[in-house]
Amino acid sequence: MSAPDSMHAVFSDAVFHDAVEQSAIAISITDVNAHILYVNPAFSAITGYAASEVVGQRQSLLSYKSTPRSVYQTMWQALKSGQSWTGRLLNRRRDGTPYVAELTVTPLRSAAIKGEETRYLGMHWDATEEHRLAQQLSNHKQLIESVISVAPVAVALLDVEGKVVLDNPAYRRVVSDMRVTEPAHSVMDALRQSLGESFKHALAHRRALLNHELCFDSDSGEPRWYSCSVSWFEERHTSPDAFYGDGCSDYMLLVMHDISASKRQQEALRIAAMRAMLSEGEFNQSLREALSGAIFQLQGPVNLISAAASLQRRRAGGAAGGDALAKALADAQRAGEEAISTLQAAMPPEPEAPTGLVNLNEVLRDVLMLETETFLSAGVTVDWLPAHVLPSVQGNPTALRTLFRQLVTNAVEAMNVRGWTERNLSLSTEVHGKYVRAALTDTGPGIPDELRLKVFEPFFSTKKGRAAGRGVGLSLAQEIVSRHRGVLEIDPSYAGGCRLLVSIPALGQIPVADEEGER
């Protein structure tokens, strides 16, 4: 061997020795029977054994009892076939505590030493903490998946393209209940329509949207209500080129909580309260009508008595104070006026003037819900044909519900007679010039031409005898329409029943007749 080669060999041996001695990985060399021939300082630091305690001992002194025997069998099969083996073992430190060892064992053969048998180079490091973190992550993942799977709320994860990449069984049940193929897309469309620009702003800035209530039709026929929330999170890329970069993907988490039961309960309570309110309003209106009629009927005789009393006082002249007839007439006049005052004091106050913005479609939907039992008991079928877009009107929603409830009740009563087979009620809305018009059409006997004005008079009814009603329905409806500066009329061109047209000025519109009257 030349001098340079000799110097290179010496230098290489020194460098390799220093590298092994200073390595942070535990290194051991064993003979073919697994007796330890050498360990480095890192081996002692990890296991707690000094080199003098383990050299000459079998490597199995590190074995921990819970490591399956099959693991060692697999390792030795690979080593005896001349292959390296890498895996994890459960080792034991000098103090008896276990640790997870990430181990690689490689067969070594040296041609420099004649007759030398195979030796094994073992390198391992303490992977206990990594194993703990991996198991903790796995446990958390399983816990989250289990919770999401059994959660009563529907959960869907969408990528940036809007594709559902993960969902749970509750979401899949929503798919089968709703009349859509992908509920998440329908929710996003509904949020976009209801929130407008704020929805676009939330999407652009990845801001959460919490507890927005949406209603969808279902195959069961009953609408389904969901409280929907949207949140965002970033997934860091796992590719090597994203190690120092900011590579990430945005995902949207959609959570849908079915609140249909509570909404139906709320709706039932609202309808009950509305029914009570409307009944009270109708009772007060009927009472006002009755008291007004009584006052009108009483005012005539009182006026006659007053005139007779004045005439008698003039005839009696100075002796009027002692005239019995004059005194009787004066007493009768005073009693009549007191009765009129008592009736006027008992009259309920007039309802408040309309102040709010009202959508007639919503009013009519409420009325249809209120009268559902009436329709069923009378065998009346209902066609509901609302305008898709309808401007608001200025009005009192309670009064307008009373208006249409009276008209619907009159229509049902007109058809609910013995032997009348065709019982259909149609309600529709439309924009008619400056008005919002609602049409109520029934297939009843209709109203004769000579009665089309008289039916709006108080206490008038087309029914006779016991079947006759109070006769205040259309007069009450007419009063409410007048308070809203609208028009209530019977369509004279309609045959085969009766069609009532209710026209109320659209928001910001004033009827021409009113404009001319104000000039």
Question: Which residue shows structure tokens 């003098």?
Answer: 52
Q: How far is CA 248 from CA 68, 108, 162, 239, 254, in A?
A: 41, 45, 17, 10, 19
Closest CA to 473 of 431, 416, 381, 411: 411
Q: Within the chain, what is the greatest distance between any pair of CA atoms?
A: 169
Whether residue 329 contacts residue 312, with contact meaning beta carbons closer than 8 Å, is answered with yes
Question: Which residue shows structure tokens 């004649």?
Answer: 114
Alpha carbon distance 240, 454 (integer Å):
89
CATH number belonging to domain 6-128: 3.30.450.20
Alpha carbon distance 485, 20 (integer Å):
100
Domain boundaries, the chain: 6-128, 151-238+247-258, 264-346, 356-518
Question: Would you call 154 helix, strand, or coil by DSSP?
Answer: strand
pLDDT in tens, the chain (519 residues): 555 555 545 556 678 888 889 999 999 999 988 899 999 999 999 999 999 999 999 998 999 888 888 999 999 999 989 899 999 999 999 999 999 999 999 998 765 545 556 799 999 999 999 999 999 988 888 887 787 788 888 898 888 888 888 888 888 888 777 767 788 888 888 888 878 888 888 888 888 889 998 887 665 557 788 999 999 888 777 677 666 666 677 888 999 998 888 888 887 787 777 777 767 766 776 776 677 777 777 888 888 888 887 887 777 776 656 677 778 888 888 888 888 888 888 877 766 655 788 889 888 988 888 888 888 888 999 999 888 778 889 888 888 888 898 889 888 988 888 878 889 999 999 999 999 999 999 998 877 766 666 666 655 555 554 444 444 457 778 888 888 899 998 888 888 888 999 999 988 654 444 444 333
Alpha carbon distance 482, 505 (integer Å):
11
Q: Is the pTM of this model over 0.85?
A: no
Q: What is the predicted pLDDT for the residue at 330?
A: 82
Closest CA to 34 of 93, 85, 107, 125: 107
Strand order in 26-30's β-sheet?
Answer: 36-39, 26-30, 119-126, 98-108, 85-92
Tokens of 37: 């021939």
CATH number belonging to domain 151-238+247-258: 3.30.450.20
Q: Which CATH class is domain 356-518?
A: alpha beta
Q: Which residue intervals of 181-316 are DSSP H helices?
A: 183-195, 197-204, 260-316
Same topology between domain 6-128 and domain 151-238+247-258: yes
Q: What is the predicted pLDDT for the residue at 502?
A: 93
